[in-house]
Amino acid sequence: EQGAISAMIAGGDTSIAEILILADTDELITPCGACRQRINEFSTSNTIITLANLNGKHQQYTISQLLPAQFNAKELHND
């Protein structure tokens, strides 16, 4: 996921509308914690993350569901 986000930024985009995590496994694979944070930094709380495998199994989440109480830019401001 981090590689895809880096390519997105290098291509001039700065916002993730939706993301697909596709794995050749029996069970669905979720992004690791670091990738969840990176996805969060370039998306909105309602950005859809679809987990899927090659057997047609899939599930959708928002980034807020996968990363509750996430760190965001508002926390950097000390007003």
- Residue 1 annotated as catalytic: yes
Instruction: Tell me which of 1, 27, 41, 75 is the catalytic residue.
Output: 1
DSSP string, 43-73: S-TT-EEEEEETTS-EEEEEHHHHSTT---G
Known catalytic residues?
1
